[in-house]
Amino acid sequence: MRAPGWPAILSEGPVTVRPLRLRDASAWVEVRLRNADWLAPWEATPPGLVMVRETWAQRQSVGVYRQMWHRLRQQARIGVALPFAVAFQGRLVGQVTVSPIARGAFNSAQVGYWVDRDFAGRGITPTALALVVDHCFGPVGLHRVEANVRPENAASQRVLAKLGFREEGLHRRYLAIDGHYRDHISFALTTEDVPTGLVYRLRENTRRH
């Protein structure tokens, strides 16, 4: 039995969101290594000295990708994660991961995302995130999607603001980054916030501007 809404391929113009593939390993590693300065300040890592001593390159290897892929694939099968690759004109340029997914009365999930710096500012991340959130509120059947961003991450906050995510508060020492717990701002949307969908909202905003 498959989890609701998985697997799925979503697209809007030149942006496609699809399941991560094992054969994405080399492309994923190339993008991640090239974007070390761009991505490392925002990447979650377990706290403690062991992870801090590992270099960025050690955490972005083909072996690490395969371990991540197998773990996320298993989580997707049981419905607790949606691990998507983001492609622009067929090229892997980022990732959107919905995890963890909680069912029951909560019926909610968290979403994280990143994009190749060379492709930032082209509307790829807002489009990919809009596609994924609409999918979560549609076939996946969630009620709420939350994103947590460091206060210093202005670029990520602009993406969420563009999509109309609501700021809900500050979580003190919420998530470990570079081995230390950092404050994060919580943003969220519920199905009631976007009755016509985020992709539709994004299209309308683009037309107005």
Q: In the predicted model, what is the mean pLDDT of residues 6-22?
A: 98
Q: Which of 1, 8, 2 is nearest to 134 (CA)?
A: 8
What pLDDT is stored for residue 49 in this prediction? 45
Q: What pTM was estimated for this model as a whole?
A: 0.95
Please write the tens of the pLDDT for every residue from 177-203: 877 899 999 999 999 999 999 999 999
SS3 for 12?
Answer: strand
C-alpha triplet 109, 111, 113: angle, nearest 5°: 170
Q: How many angstroms separate the CA atoms of 83 and 92, rounded?
A: 14
- By C-alpha distance, which of 148, 134, 112, 109 is closest to 191? 134
- Tokens describing residue 29: 């590693």
Task: Extract the runs of DSSP E, i.e. beta strands, from the chain.
Answer: 10-12, 15-19, 82-88, 91-102, 108-115, 144-149, 166-177, 180-190
> What separation in angstroms does the CA of 68 have from each of 22, 42, 77?
10, 18, 14
Whole-Å CA distances, 122 to 43, 115, 118, 119 = 22, 11, 9, 6
**Pick from 30, 22, 207: nearest CA to 118:** 30
| Spatial contact of 145 and 131, defined as CB atoms under 8 Å apart | no
Confidence check: pLDDT of 55 > 90 = no
User: Which of 20, 51, 1, 2 has the alpha carbon at shortest distance from 132?
Assistant: 20
Share of the chain above pLDDT 70, in %: 96
Q: Domain 10-208 belongs to what topology?
A: Aminopeptidase (3.40.630)
The residue extents of the domains of the chain are 10-208
